[in-house]
């Protein structure tokens, strides 16, 4: 059994009814990333991928913030210049790739301020919810850096190059309503209700058809770059796979028998 000290562990990992909650846990630094948090998050995502009883995932933050990007206390400007492509290649790029490759639905519950690479983390997940108190700060330009962690890629696709440029060049801080208007987040909740709603969503998705969910996420990933002709072929290929699944059989049987479908039964050996 892994013993986690909630006072010192940079990540809290809790398994629930078909889903898991990963909590970024460096509240005094607004859950900014240091190498320990990167390593622990990578391990928690890997376990979420491997554990068949985890069928959806919530990522949230402890305390007042969600994630303030890179921990700036770790950078001592007096120690000379440092090749920042190294932390990107070591930590940030693998994190975004790991999130995109993890084909289980990832719900991000943005409980407070999010800045820098934290924005990339939000945009790499599948469904984003936020607290009405959340703020979205670009932040990179304020310290003379370029948006990273996929933020340039995500934002051009999400809001178009005109608004992406304006946000990045002004280092704007968006309110929760603006973030919703821009499509960063799907729904906004009162702070004390955010996690409750994220858990209802995670549980509902976990008890739904995993194959349908996974193929949907994958199809939408391909849609970013495919032509309509390629996408139609892909949909047919994925529908063939889904159509042969036990989940499809169960879904249709349940409909005809006027009962709720049963897609998920906890595996007892886990």
Residues that bind ligand T3D (CB under 6 A): 29-30, 32, 68-73, 75, 84, 87, 92, 113, 115-117, 137, 139-140, 143, 145, 148
Q: How far is the CB of 260 from ligand T3D (least distance, A)?
A: 43
Of 93 and 226, CB closest to ligand T3D: 93
Of 71 and 199, CB closest to ligand T3D: 71
Of 172 and 254, CB closest to ligand T3D: 172
Q: How far is the CB of 107 from ligand T3D (least distance, A)?
A: 22
The DSSP line for the chain is -----TTT-SEEEEE-SSEEEEEE--GGGTT-B-HHHHHHHHHHHHHHHH-TT--EEEEEESTTEEE-SB-GGG--GGG----THHHIIIIIHHHHHHHHH--S-EEEEE-SEEETHHHHHHHHSSEEEEETT-EEE--GGGGT----TTHHHHHHHHHHHHHHHHHHHHT-EEEHHHHHHTTS-SEEE-GGGHHHHHHHHHHHHHTS-HHHHHHHHHHHHHHTT--HHHHHHHHHHHHHHHHTSHHHHHHHHHHHTTS--------TT-
Q: How far is the CB of 104 from ligand T3D (least distance, A)?
A: 25
Q: How far is the CB of 137 from ligand T3D (least distance, A)?
A: 4
CB 258 within 8 A of CB 264: no
Q: How far is the CB of 64 from ligand T3D (least distance, A)?
A: 7
Of 116 and 208, CB closest to ligand T3D: 116
Q: How far is the CB of 173 from ligand T3D (least distance, A)?
A: 7
Of 113 and 125, CB closest to ligand T3D: 113
Residue 54 phi/psi, 5-degree rounding, is -100, 110
Q: How far is the CB of 10 from ligand T3D (least distance, A)?
A: 13
Region label for 19, one of left (φ > 0), alpha (ψ between -120 and 50) or beta (otherwise): beta
Of 168 and 234, CB closest to ligand T3D: 168
Of 136 and 238, CB closest to ligand T3D: 136
């Amino acid at each position: 059994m892994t013993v986690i000290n909630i006072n010192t562990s940079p990540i809290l990992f809790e398994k629930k009814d078909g889903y898991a909650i990963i909590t970024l846990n460096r509240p005094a630094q607004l859950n900014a990333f240091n190498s320990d948090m990167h390593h622990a998050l990578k391990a928690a995502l890997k376990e979420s991928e491997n554990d068949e009883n985890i069928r959806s995932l919530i990522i949230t933050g402890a305390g007042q913030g969600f994630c303030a990007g890179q921990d700036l206390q770790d950078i001592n400007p007096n120690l000379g210049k440092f090749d920042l492509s190294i932390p990107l290649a070591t930590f940030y790029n693998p994190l975004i790739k790991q999130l995109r490759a993890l084909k289980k639905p990832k719900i991000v519950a943005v409980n407070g301020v999010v800045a820098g690479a934290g924005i990339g983390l939000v945009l790499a997940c599948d469904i984003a919810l936020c607290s009405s108190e959340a703020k979205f700060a670009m932040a990179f330009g304020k310290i003379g850096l370029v948006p990273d962690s996929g933020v340039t890629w995500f934002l051009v696709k999400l809001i178009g190059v005109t608004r992406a440029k304006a946000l990045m060049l002004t280092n704007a801080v968006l309110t929760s309503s603006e973030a919703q208007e821009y499509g960063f987040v799907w729904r906004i909740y009162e702070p004390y209700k955010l996690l409750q709603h994220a858990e209802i969503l995670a549980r509902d998705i976990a008890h739904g058809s995993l194959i349908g969910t996974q193929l949907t996420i994958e199809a939408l990933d391909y849609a970013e770059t495919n032509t309509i002709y390629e996408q139609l072929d892909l949909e047919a290929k994925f529908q063939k796979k889904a159509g042969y699944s036990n989940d499809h059989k169960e879904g249709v049987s349940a409909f005809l028998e006027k009962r709720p479908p049963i897609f998920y039964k906890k595996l007892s050996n886990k």
